[in-house]
Amino acid sequence: MVRRQRHPVTTWADATGHKVQTAAVRRANIPTMPVPDAKTFNRMLDACLAGDYALASINVASTSQANAALAAFAESKTDGIIQLSTGGAEFGSGPVKDMVLGAEAIAQHIHLVASRLPVYVAITTDHCVPAKVDKFVRPLLALARDRKAKGLPLLFNGHMFDGSELPLKENLAIATGLAKECAELGIVLEVETGVVGGEEDGIDNTGVGKEKLYTTPEDMVAVYEALSPIGRFTLAATFGNVHGVYKPGNVKLKPTILRDGQDAVVAKHGPSAKMPLVFHGGSGTPLHEIQETLAYGVVKMNVDTDCQYAYTRPIADHVFTNYSGVLRVDGEMGDKKTYDPRSYLKKAEASMKARVLQACEELKSLGVSLCGA
């Protein structure tokens, strides 16, 4: 079992700036950490499997959102993951509208900030469908090879290929090729079987039949046999999960599907074959269902929709509360203090940070870090 260190959850640092954080880290004698290297990221996944907890994986589309997640991980001394979808990365490139450039830019920002923090924050990409592989994942892999040749650290710990729209054989044919490229670089490939319902980032599965929302044990065995000889991978096996947030009763999760699939893999290939799984569509899921999946091998849960709402809600409140200040109404000049973007973005980041901390607590990773272990 990989040894892990559980830090007490305290407010050792606040949001007043780097000097405060640095002083606090020194007082606590906690070393600062960069984005993890390949070996460390694998240790993080191993520790999750061994300890029945998972890392919160937070989707972002800007440095402001990334800062909210970084603050949550740092202040609670919790290892975590920040990830970028194709749409989020494209947004991050501004007027260029280049998903690769946006991914690189936000990842660079995370590397710089994370290097001053006392926890590991990994960086991955999210849902890349087959039509975008050559526009997103493969250029990022080429960038990784270039950085490796120059002796620079890799920007990303993992990439996701979402081939769930394809028949399994075609899905795995593309996945195996990407897995070989990733393995050469020490990057973890995430794949998906079955379909996550709902809509996210331009991927609309709202009309998908219910039978496709559930991965079969046979699918999980096929994924293991195709990818395990190549290198490290994670599997987003679907068990009725849906992107977005729905009213109670509208989504029927069956976490035991993960158990049954893992049992089939282990029965055929032994206990060491238990796969690290990823939970997509985690926003709005009841706590007992989240925690049930941890025992079945979930090591990473994506949280996007709830974080989007948490980020936006205080901005709306700020505008409604300070209507005459944020707008120049009836020829008046407004109030610069209320329309200064920092005044409401600080509130947005604080709210999103609280939602990230909630996710860490629900996943039983709050205060858990391999820093110093």
Residue positions annotated with a catalytic role:
126
Q: Cα separation of 226 and 137, whole Å?
A: 20
Total residues belonging to the chain: 373
Q: Cα separation of 74 and 21, whole Å?
A: 9
Decide: 373 and 4 in contact? Cβ < 8 Å: yes
Cα–chain-centroid distance for residue 112?
18
Give start and end residues of each alpha helix (H) in the chain.
18-28, 38-51, 63-76, 86-92, 99-114, 137-149, 168-185, 217-227, 256-269, 287-294, 305-321, 323-326, 336-339, 341-362
Contact residues for 239 (Cβ-Cβ < 8 A; gap 6+): 194, 213, 214, 215, 253, 254, 255, 256, 257, 258, 293
- At 301, list the tokens: 């849960």
- The owner of tokens 């920092």 is 342
- The owner of tokens 């977005």 is 244
Q: Is 300 helix (H, G, I), strand (E, B) or coil?
A: strand
Give me the phi and psi of 211, to 5 degrees please: -65, -25
Q: Cα separation of 285 and 250, whole Å?
A: 11
- The owner of tokens 């044919």 is 173
- At 260, list the tokens: 């049954």
